[in-house]
């Protein structure tokens, strides 16, 4: 470029990372980054490439996998031999890698050797020492993924939920751990067995057991020699095998050899079991076949991040808390220790979490920060994720939250990997330290603060999403002596790490970095003027800006996927990221504005105005229990609902960027109508009907909007087609806008392109109803199950169920909309069409009562006999589903007291939807509400079914997810908050005011820990989507299910934010509790009579 102060480089793809790779002839390979940590363990048979580890190693830090030496006796210590904390020499070539060094007087040599031809490897460790004999052992930690790269990187937690860990014991090997990926990978089920050839003493199966919440604080594996691993199967959300070797003695010339092994099978259709043990034992004995050749190790490259321990902070003392936060609400105290609280901020509030709580919770505290004031999904809204443990900006995007990533995702919840997202190192005179968990994490609707109390100084980092521009500003301030800072960000410039290029332009003189996506992928091809800019408004505080050369000890540039900014010793450092997807000039203007340094308050004022407008300043007041908790949650529910609509993703579910047809028709629609943002709902409806297939009449399960409309699901569940009609009925019944039916929208053709032909919404709905009618079971008016219903855990595993099963819930949902639409047409004067639909509804009601209710109890599903009902269709061929019981009259009921196929007797949603939709009679409604109370209502809420589906290691027979998920949580754990909200809605409709109010308190994250002694600590300002009984695995959950009813097992909060639930929750408060409704444009107010709820304040109307 023009002078030495500027340079440009290309963000590397994986092939450009200069990885060291060892491989064998059997398709097995292990690649390493320059610092000697594992990047990826993979198997490629020429057709399928499977990644065995879960998280890719970072070039400046490493991954999750590592090997520890634990030494006992005098001067006991734990030393990392392989991993980011290892200090030895390293080399890799051919089919082996070597780490070699000395720790505490013990010399070690670790050789990772691949078998010549099999997917089999060995960790061969030699230990020796000249001093007194000392007891020691090894702990091998290996994260497990077993899937395609895209599958793993979509959500590591989801991947872990379908990993089945099975333990077999052998007299010589000890515990042998078998891991099966239960979600099909191209029709295969990858399988991995690991053990210790020299004998294992203990094990773990999830990182939470060995590198859990306290690791966020300390960064230290502190299980000293003599502390055994738990040796309990734990099916959680960071699938990770840990193996503890038998102890050995080293010293006085005595040596010890310890060998771990791993063996991979590309496809293991059956569940793991005793039959797999002989093959594992045989694999363990093949270490001698790896030969002895090994490369000569040398000093590896080392980054500053590897040696930067988490900065140790002091807690905020009572006086500090009072000085900073004199007015505190809803304080959370445990054993006399303050954990969290809320503080008022105008019409909204802030949530403050202290370090003592972060050290305990499995789900790290986090926040989604969004710029601007749009209520629509667009390409001008910036969003970033802030994590309490020192990730100051992860998954920063403008526009599409999957494709437009600037900074990478933080992929593990315990801060095990430290090279992701935007991070900061600080030097307070003792060398570089990592800013990790702060003394306090202060979360606002548009900003977050990390407060680090240190001896003699306090460091505060504030991240602000601008309320009027696609920009985020970070302000680092120091009270006390100044510090140096090294800010660095891992850059993606696309969907996934190292899969696309981008250009980084560094202007050292201007202290500015610009980044643009490459033309080798969708983003750069679609947005040719897209660019991000990192600028500073405190240039005198900045020593230099650059790339990864600022992060390595040797100061050499490797042109890796990093940008960095290093400061002088300073009391203030301010920098920002902004940009534009559509205009180079606009991006430059924004860069200039933020280089000039707007203050944080000027950025937050328009943001507060937006949240005030969105929520209509709604507040609850009263003296009764839970009123304060519900009032405090109202702005956060609105916040979460906006994230779901406009920047679709969550904290755990960070992939998204698409609208789920079912989802957008619920949460956003119901929130906006309750808060009277009618124009936005109309816009959603017209957008939604423009996504309808012209030929099929249905919608995909999910879809992206322009400019990526061709990215969408290939199919949908049987209920999805109903939801746009429900959304339309909701809108018309609230607003009285009958004219919307004459509004026009395009269709999608068979290539997913928008048609030039526009049709009225009436025509769109006619096509919808025609498609639905064509899917009825022959001879009935009951819609087929298709690919599933709302309960995602019960997707059909066999095509026979798709074609011949009926969901009572879907029938009830369709019935409700047919009745409502008939009434709307009648108001429009279309009496003939209205009468047709009324007749259809009556026939549906008759078939529902005839086929899906028996002995007064509605079934979850009806399985129809094609020999009886399939006269007009070809009877399907072979199926693994046993024939319908001949005694059932052609319809076998599932999830019903007569059900002998699944063992399940009651289904929540098949009872609540007929109540809500008016399909039940009054007597049926009262009867089913009693059944819910007797069988489904447990201390933490209403459960989807009366007991868990039987789990047998992962193979699927009837239902895809319920039989394959090894993790007992989310829908599998049965207490799904969305379904509980619909139960509360049913209660409210029946005038059960107090029960409905108490039901809503159970799902309020502030109130639930006060109401339920067994409710575990959780983040208190985010919607949680499920209440997960904390059983270690599915087998224990089934065996000890009664403990959920007695409240003797802890219940954890599930995934956060990304759900239609926040919108439903808000509507429940506004329309059901406060009774503020509209009926065809006429406002009505009929609040529930709830003790202690004295009224409300809002700008509604």
What is the C-alpha separation between 516 and 533, in angstroms, rounded?
A: 9
The tokens 């949460």 sit on which residue?
A: 667
Marked catalytic residue, from 412, 497, 792, 1033: 792
CB contact set of 278 (below 8 Å; sequence gap of 6+): none
Q: Is the dihedral of CA 436, 437, 440, 445 positive or negative?
A: positive
Q: Is the dihedral of CA 853, 857, 861, 863 positive or negative?
A: negative
What is the C-alpha separation between 547 and 561, in angstroms, rounded?
A: 8
- Of 851, 824, 855, 624, the closest CA to residue 730 belongs to 824
Contact by Cβ (8 Å): 143, 53? yes
What is the C-alpha separation between 204 and 229, in angstroms, rounded?
A: 6
Concatenating the DSSP letter of every residue in 441-489 gives EEE-SSEEEEEEEETTEEEEEEEEE-SSSSEEEEEEEEEES-BEEEEEE
**What tokens were used for 886?**
């001949």
Backbone angles phi, psi at 570, to 5 degrees: -150, 160
Concatenating the DSSP letter of every residue in 233-298 gives ----SSEEEEEEEPPEEEBTTBEEEEEEEEEEES---SPP-GGGHHHHHHHHTTGGGG-S--PPPB
Q: Element (H or E) spanning 578, and its range?
A: strand 572-580
Backbone angles phi, psi at 384, to 5 degrees: -145, 150
Per the rule left: phi > 0, alpha: psi between -120 and 50, beta: everything else, 650 is: beta
Contact by Cβ (8 Å): 933, 945? no
What is the C-alpha separation between 8 and 546, in angstroms, rounded?
A: 10
Backbone angles phi, psi at 821, to 5 degrees: -65, -35
To 10 degrees, what angle do helices 993-1002 and 977-989 make?
170
To 10 degrees, what angle do helices 678-689 and 723-735 make?
150
R_g over Cα of the chain: 30
Neighbours of 986 (CB within 10 A): 26
- Of 572, 566, 547, 409, the closest CA to residue 485 belongs to 566
What is the C-alpha separation between 334 and 53, in angstroms, rounded?
A: 38
Integer angstrom CA distances of residue 459 from 427, 452, 538, 940: 11, 5, 17, 40
What is the C-alpha separation between 261 and 288, in angstroms, rounded?
A: 12
- Of 729, 813, 725, the closest CA to residue 765 belongs to 725
What is the C-alpha separation between 163 and 158, in angstroms, rounded?
A: 9
Contact by Cβ (8 Å): 795, 805? no
What is the C-alpha separation between 1078 and 766, in angstroms, rounded?
A: 26
Contacts 24+ apart (CB under 8 A), 952-955: 952/271, 953/164, 953/166, 953/180, 953/270, 953/271, 953/272, 953/273, 954/162, 954/164, 954/180, 954/182, 954/189, 954/271, 955/182, 955/269, 955/270, 955/271
- Of 250, 357, 295, the closest CA to residue 93 belongs to 295
Contact by Cβ (8 Å): 352, 330? no
Contact by Cβ (8 Å): 297, 98? yes
Residue 215: how many CA atoms within 13 Å on its side-chain side? 20
792 is catalytic: yes
Give the number of residues written for the chain: 1101
User: Which residues are catalytic, by number?
Assistant: 792
């Amino acid at each position: 470029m023009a002078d030495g102060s500027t340079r440009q480089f290309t963000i590397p793809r994986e092939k450009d990372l200069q990885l060291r790779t060892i491989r064998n002839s059997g398709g097995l390979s292990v690649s390493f980054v320059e610092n000697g940590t594992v990047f990826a363990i993979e198997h490629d048979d020429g057709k399928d490439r499977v990644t065995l580890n879960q998280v890719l190693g970072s070039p400046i830090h490493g991954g999750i996998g590592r090997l520890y030496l634990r030494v006992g006796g005098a001067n006991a210590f734990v030393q990392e031999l392989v991993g980011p904390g290892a200090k030895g020499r390293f080399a890799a070539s051919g089919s082996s890698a070597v780490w070699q060094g000395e720790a505490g007087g013990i010399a070690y040599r670790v050789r990772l050797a691949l078998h010549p031809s099999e997917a089999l490897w060995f960790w061969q460790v030699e230990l020796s020492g000249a001093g007194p004999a000392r007891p020691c052992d090894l702990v091998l930690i290996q994260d497990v993924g077993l899937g395609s790269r895209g599958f793993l990187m979509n959500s590591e937690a989801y991947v872990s939920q379908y990993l089945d860990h099975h333990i077999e014991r052998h007299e010589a090997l000890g515990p042998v751990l078998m891991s099966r990926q239960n979600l099909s990978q191209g029709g295969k089920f990858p399988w991995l067995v690991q053990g210790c050839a020299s004998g294992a003493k203990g094990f773990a199966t999830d990182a939470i057991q060995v590198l859990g919440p306290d690791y966020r604080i300390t960064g230290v594996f502190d299980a000293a020699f003599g502390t055994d691993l738990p040796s309990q199967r734990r099916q959680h959300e960071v699938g990770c095998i840990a193996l503890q070797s038998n102890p050995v003695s080293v010293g006085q010339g005595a040596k010890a050899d310890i060998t771990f092994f791993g063996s991979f099978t590309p496809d293991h259709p059956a569940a793991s079991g005793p039959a797999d043990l002989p093959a594992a034992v045989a694999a363990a004995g093949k270490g001698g076949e790896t030969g002895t050749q090994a490369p000569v190790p040398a000093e590896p490259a080392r980054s500053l991040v590897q040696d930067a321990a988490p900065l140790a902070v002091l807690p905020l003392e009572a006086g500090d808390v009072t000085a900073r936060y004199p007015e505190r609400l809803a304080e959370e105290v445990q054993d006399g220790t303050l954990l969290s609280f809320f503080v008022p901020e105008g019409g909204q509030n802030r949530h403050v979490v202290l370090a003592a709580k972060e050290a305990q919770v499995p789900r790290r505290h986090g926040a989604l920060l969004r710029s601007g004031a749009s209520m629509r999904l667009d390409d001008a809204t910036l969003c970033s994720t802030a994590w309490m443990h020192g990730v100051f900006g992860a998954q920063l995007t403008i526009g599409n939250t999957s494709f437009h990533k600037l900074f990478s995702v933080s992929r593990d919840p315990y801060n095990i990997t430290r090279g992701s997202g935007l991070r900061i190192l600080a030097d307070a005179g003792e060398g570089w330290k990592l800013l990790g968990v702060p003394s306090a994490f202060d979360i606002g609707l548009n900003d977050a603060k990390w407060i680090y109390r240190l001896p003699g100084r306090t460091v505060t980092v504030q991240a602000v999403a601008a309320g009027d521009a696609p920009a985020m500003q970070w302000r680092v301030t120091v009270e006390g002596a100044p510090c140096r800072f090294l800010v660095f960000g891992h850059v993606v410039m696309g969907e996934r790490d190292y899969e696309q290029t981008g250009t980084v332009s560094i202007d050292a003189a201007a202290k500015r970095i610009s980044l643009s996506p490459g033309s080798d992928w969708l983003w750069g091809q679609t947005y040719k003027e897209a660019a991000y800019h990192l600028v500073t408004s405190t240039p005198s505080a900045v020593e230099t800006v650059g790339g990864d050369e600022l992060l390595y000890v040797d100061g050499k540039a490797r042109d890796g996927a990093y940008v960095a900014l290093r400061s002088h010793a300073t009391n203030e450092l301010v920098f920002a990221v902004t940009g534009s997807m559509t205009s180079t000039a606009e991006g430059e203007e924004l860069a200039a504005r933020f280089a000039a340094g707007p203050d944080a308050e000027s950025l937050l004022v328009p943001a507060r105005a937006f949240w005030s407008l969105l929520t209509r300043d709604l507040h609850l007041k009263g003296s009764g229990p839970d009123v304060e908790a519900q009032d405090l949650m109202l702005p956060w529910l609105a916040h979460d609902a906006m994230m779901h609509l406009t920047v679709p993703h969550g904290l755990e579910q960070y992939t998204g960027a698409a609208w789920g047809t079912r989802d957008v028709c619920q949460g956003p629609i119901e929130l906006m109508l309750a808060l009277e943002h009618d124009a936005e709902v109309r816009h959603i409806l017209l957008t939604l009907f423009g996504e309808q297939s012209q030929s099929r009449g249905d919608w995909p399960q999910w879809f992206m909007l322009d400019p990526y409309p061709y990215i969408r699901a290939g199919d949908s569940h049987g209920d999805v087609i109903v939801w746009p009609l429900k959304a339309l009925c909701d809108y018309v019944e609230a607003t009285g806008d009958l004219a919307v039916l004459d509004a026009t929208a395009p269709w999608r053709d068979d290539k997913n392109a928008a048609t030039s032909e526009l049709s009225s919404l009436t025509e769109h709905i006619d096509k919808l109803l025609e498609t639905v009618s064509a899917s009825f079971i022959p001879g009935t008016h009951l819609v087929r199950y298709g690919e599933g219903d709302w309960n995602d855990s019960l997707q059909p595993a066999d095509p026979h169920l798709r074609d011949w099963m009926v969901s009572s819930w879907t029938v009830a949902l369709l019935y409700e909309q047919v009745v409502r639409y008939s009434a709307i047409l009648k108001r429009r004067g279309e009496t003939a069409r209205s009468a047709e639909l009324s007749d259809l509804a009556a026939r549906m009601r008759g078939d529902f009562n005839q086929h899906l209710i028996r002995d007064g109890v509605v079934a979850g599903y009806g399985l129809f006999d094609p020999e009886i009902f399939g006269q007009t269709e070809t009877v399907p061929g072979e199926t693994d589903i046993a024939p319908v019981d001949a005694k059932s009259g052609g319809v076998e009921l599932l999830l019903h007291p007569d059900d002998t196929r699944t063992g399940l007797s009651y289904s929540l949603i098949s009872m609540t939807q007929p109540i809500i939709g008016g399909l039940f009679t009054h007597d049926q409604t009262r009867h089913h509400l009693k059944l819910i109370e007797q069988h489904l209502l447990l201390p933490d809420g209403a459960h989807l079914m009366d007991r868990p589906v039987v789990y047998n290691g992962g193979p699927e027979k009837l239902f895809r997810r319920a039989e394959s998920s090894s993790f007992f949580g989310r829908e599998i754990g049965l207490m799904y908050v969305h379904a509980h909200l619909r139960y509360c809605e049913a209660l409210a409709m029946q005038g059960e005011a107090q029960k409905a109010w108490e039901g809503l308190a159970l799902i309020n994250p502030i109130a639930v820990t006060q109401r339920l002694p067994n409710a575990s600590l959780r983040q208190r300002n985010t919607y949680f989507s499920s209440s997960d009984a904390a059983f270690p695995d599915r087998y224990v959950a089934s065996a000890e299910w009664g403990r959920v009813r007695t409240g003797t097992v802890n219940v954890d909060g599930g995934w956060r934010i990304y759900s239609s639930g926040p919108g439903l929750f808000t509507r429940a408060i506004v329309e059901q509790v406060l009774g503020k409704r509209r009926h065809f444009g006429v406002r009505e107010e009929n609040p529930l009579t709830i003790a202690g709820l004295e009224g409300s304040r809002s700008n509604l109307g």
